[in-house]
Amino acid sequence: MKVFVTRKIPQAGLEILREHFEIDVFEGDSPISREELVTRASDCDGLLSLLTDTIDSEVMDEIGVKAIANYAVGYDNIDITAATQRKIPVTNTPGVLTDATADLTFALILSISRRIVESDKYLREGRWTGWDPILLLGGDFVGKTLGIIGLGRIGTAVAKRAKGFGMNIIYTDHHKKSIENELSARWVTFEELIVNSDYITIHIPHTTDTHHLIGKEELSKMKSTAYLINTSRGKIINEIELIEALKNRQITGAGLDVFYEEPDFNPELAKLDNVVIVPHIGSASFETRNKMAVMAAENLVEALKGEIPENIVNPEIYD
Ligand code: DGY
């Protein structure tokens, strides 16, 4: 059997694939084009895809693979309904990137609030004239309210970190989570979270229901001293409306790891001092990316052997 890997992933994953299959790996320095993906994968049984690859029904029909392993926990790049209709198992990489993503979320909370990037720039530009009681003041964390949208694996890991910082934690989710006592977290409605949080952080997938969950209306209800953090998916926020809110200081700042149309991002964002932007590096630690590679490869091996993979996203195909 042959599998196509749409980008170089850590060696540990490629070795697992090589033990079981003939493999073809796209070695380019930027995401593979749709055309090349279709050409290279069309004689393959399995596909190891990235979040940068759009795998829709047309691509599925053209390549005709029997299994797709996505190298990410999120899978909004794949049309799951189309895969399910075609009985193609799709897998993801949950769990292994939880801590790395929570760490980056906290790094963004700290960076935007304590103005780390702005301060670094200030110093490099030679503007520092000496210690100043009112220079580059930012926000505190102790006693501040962190609002977590989605208390799943990553949201919970963020809450654990926030507890260590002495923050009050509120969250919103479809239902109350039993872990809330351990985290000293309190379930609130989405509306309550928007209005009462000093920091809001998003940890839900991008779906038709969560598309533009935060836009003009929600931003106008946030505290003017609040910060918005997103390490989930860019399209959950209406980016144009966020930029307006940041320009007008309707909220104090934002920390963004994800954008509306990656790798392109709105150039207006780069002009703002009250935003910290990083290029979708939530899971970008050596250890985590290795674990993701191993998990994605094992998922593909299981799926192509006809087993139900542990991290199956559409288990209904086996009904
Ligand atoms: C994911 O896995 O979905 C992250 O966005 C990238 O690691």
DSSP characters over 1-55 = -EEEESS---HHHHHHHHHHSEEEE---SSPPPHHHHHHHHTT-SEEEE-TTS-B
Domains in the chain, CATH or no CATH each? 2-94+286-318 (3.40.50.720), 98-277 (3.40.50.720)
Cα three-residue angle 78-235-228, rounded to 5 degrees: 135
Q: Which two tokens stand for residue 215?
A: 């836009």
Ligand 1: which atom is nearest the Cα of residue 231? 5
Cis peptide before 263 (omega within 30 of 0): yes
pLDDT value of position 65:
98
Distances in Å between the Cα of 318 and the Cα atoms of 85, 89, 313 are 12, 9, 11
Task: Identify which of 105, 283, 286, 291 to mutate to test ligand 1's pocket (most ligand atoms within 8 A of the CB).
Answer: 283
Single pTM value for the model: 0.96
Closest CA to 26 of 10, 49, 40, 6: 6
**Residue 225 to residue 13: CA distance in whole angstroms:** 44
The β-bridge relationship of strands 46-49 and 67-70 is parallel
Instruction: Tell me, in angstroms, the distance from the centre of ligand 1 to residue 291's CA.
Output: 13
Query: What is residue 264's DSSP assignment?
Result: B
Query: What is residue 179's DSSP assignment?
Result: T
Any idea which residues carry the catalytic annotation? 233, 262, 280
Instruction: Tell me, in angstroms, the distance from the centre of ligand 1 to residue 92's CA.
Output: 10
Residue 301 identity (one-letter amino acid) = V
Ligand 1: which atom is nearest the Cα of residue 92? 2
pLDDT value of position 95:
98
Ligand 1: which atom is nearest the Cα of residue 100? 7
pLDDT value of position 112:
98
pLDDT value of position 81:
98
Closest CA to 71 of 91, 53, 50: 50
Instruction: Tell me, in angstroms, the distance from the centre of ligand 1 to residue 281's CA.
Output: 8
Instruction: Tell me, in angstroms, the distance from the centre of ligand 1 to residue 283's CA.
Output: 6
Q: Which two tokens stand for residue 264?
A: 């392109």
Write the DSSP assignment of 111-173 as a string of letters. Answer: HHHTTHHHHHHHHHTT---S--TTTT-----TTPEEEEE--SHHHHHHHHHHHHTT-EEEEE-
Instruction: Tell me, in angstroms, the distance from the centre of ligand 1 to residue 72's CA.
Output: 4
**Residue 299 to residue 91: CA distance in whole angstroms:** 6
Do the Cβ atoms of 101 and 281 come closer than 8 Å? no
Ligand 1: which atom is nearest the Cα of residue 71? 2
**Residue 225 to residue 213: CA distance in whole angstroms:** 20
Query: What is residue 253's DSSP assignment?
Result: E
pLDDT value of position 215:
98
Closest CA to 292 of 234, 300, 20: 300
- Report residues whose beta carbon is within 6 angstroms of any ligand 1 atom: 51, 72-74, 97, 282-283
Closest CA to 230 of 142, 148, 128: 148
Residues of the chain with pLDDT below 70 are none
pLDDT value of position 314:
98
Of all protein residues, the one whose alpha carbon is nearest to atom 7 of ligand 1 is: 283
Residues across the chain: 319
pLDDT tens for each residue of 151-201: 999 999 999 999 999 999 999 999 999 999 999 999 999 999 999 999 999
Task: Identify which of 48, 97, 292, 299 to mutate to test ligand 1's pocket (most ligand atoms within 8 A of the CB).
Answer: 97
pLDDT value of position 153:
98
**Residue 29 to residue 230: CA distance in whole angstroms:** 26
**Residue 240 to residue 215: CA distance in whole angstroms:** 9
**Residue 92 to residue 295: CA distance in whole angstroms:** 8
